[in-house]
């Protein structure tokens, strides 16, 4: 199953121009804004979980972030980002692999910011979602931040032909557990390249300092 999923995502990125995928953003403005609001210095680590071929990595490097980690199941997606970045790709830690896999988790350094736009909703079983939450708990430093953008309760039921789990901020808070406090939740309607609307909820949590 994991292998089939990897093949699915590799095929998407190998066969679709990145500007035509149903989640493309030329500049991920809201993600950047929420990262900025964390008030973390650019020498600290930020992870993009399910980075795909997003330009978030490019934009973070352009803003001086020195420790950017891009994780995705699709090595093809990460290769697109690396090719786009050219020599600057050397500054990025690329982690190809499944977020649910303990061997992959072991490759993620402790981070001050965990960012995920549109990965978590593909994890639809309680077991997979708990594995994700465990990785967040083991990876985000006390006082660090978790930004999750996911399909809202009124959002789509499928993406890229796969079923998704829609959420609100309360559900995400329950998933992360009591060490994480919700700081803000923003309803945001994303417009796909062909004009369809996709309602998301963007959430920002803080890990309690002593937790």
Ligand X SMILES: C[S@@+](CC[C@H](N)C(=O)[O-])C[C@H]1O[C@@H](n2cnc3c(N)ncnc32)[C@H](O)[C@@H]1O
Q: Which stretch binds ligand X (CB under 6 A): 70-78, 169-177, 183-191, 193-201?
A: 70-78
Query: One symbol per residue from 167 to 206: x for binding ligand X (CB under 6 A), - otherwise; what is it?
Result: ----------------------------------------
Spatial contact of 72 and 78, defined as CB atoms under 8 Å apart: yes
Residue 36 to residue 34: CA distance in whole angstroms = 5
Q: Residue of minimal CB distance from ligand X? A: 52
Sheet arrangement for strand 67-72: 92-96, 67-72, 45-49, 111-117, 140-151, 197-207, 180-191
Binding piece for ligand X, criterion CB under 6 A, among 36-44, 61-69, 72-80, 202-210: 72-80
Of 131 and 211, CB closest to ligand X: 131
**Is residue 45 a contact point for ligand X (CB under 6 A)?**
no
Segment 145 to 164, residues that bind ligand X, using CB under 6 A? 159
**CB neighbourhood size of 6 (10 A):** 18
77 binds ligand X (CB under 6 A): yes
Helix axes of 169-176 and 126-139: crossing angle, nearest 10 degrees: 70
Token duo for residue 201: 């909820």
* Interface ranges with ligand X (CB under 6 A): 9, 23, 50-52, 54, 72-74, 77, 98-100, 117-119, 122, 159
């Amino acid at each position: 199953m994991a292998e089939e999923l990897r093949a699915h995502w590799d095929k998407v990125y190998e066969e679709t121009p990145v500007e035509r995928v149903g989640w493309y953003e030329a500049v991920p403005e809201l993600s950047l804004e929420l990262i900025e609001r964390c008030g973390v210095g650019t020498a600290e680590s930020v992870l993009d979980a399910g980075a795909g071929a997003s330009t978030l990595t490019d934009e973070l490097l352009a803003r001086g972030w020195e420790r950017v980690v891009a994780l995705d199941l699709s090595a093809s997606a990460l290769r697109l980002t690396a090719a786009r970045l050219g020599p600057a790709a050397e500054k990025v830690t690329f982690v190809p692999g499944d977020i649910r896999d303990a061997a992959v988790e072991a490759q993620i350094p402790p981070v001050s910011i965990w960012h995920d736009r549109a990965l978590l909703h593909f994890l639809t079983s309680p077991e997979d979602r708990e594995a994700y939450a465990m990785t967040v708990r083991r990876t985000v430093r006390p006082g660090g931040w978790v930004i999750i953008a996911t399909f809202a309760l009124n959002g789509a039921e499928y993406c890229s032909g796969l079923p998704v789990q829609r959420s609100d901020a309360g559900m995400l808070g329950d998933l992360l557990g009591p060490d994480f406090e919700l700081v803000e939740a923003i309803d945001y309607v994303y417009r796909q390249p062909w004009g369809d609307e996709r309602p998301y909820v963007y959430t920002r949590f803080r890990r309690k300092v002593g937790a």
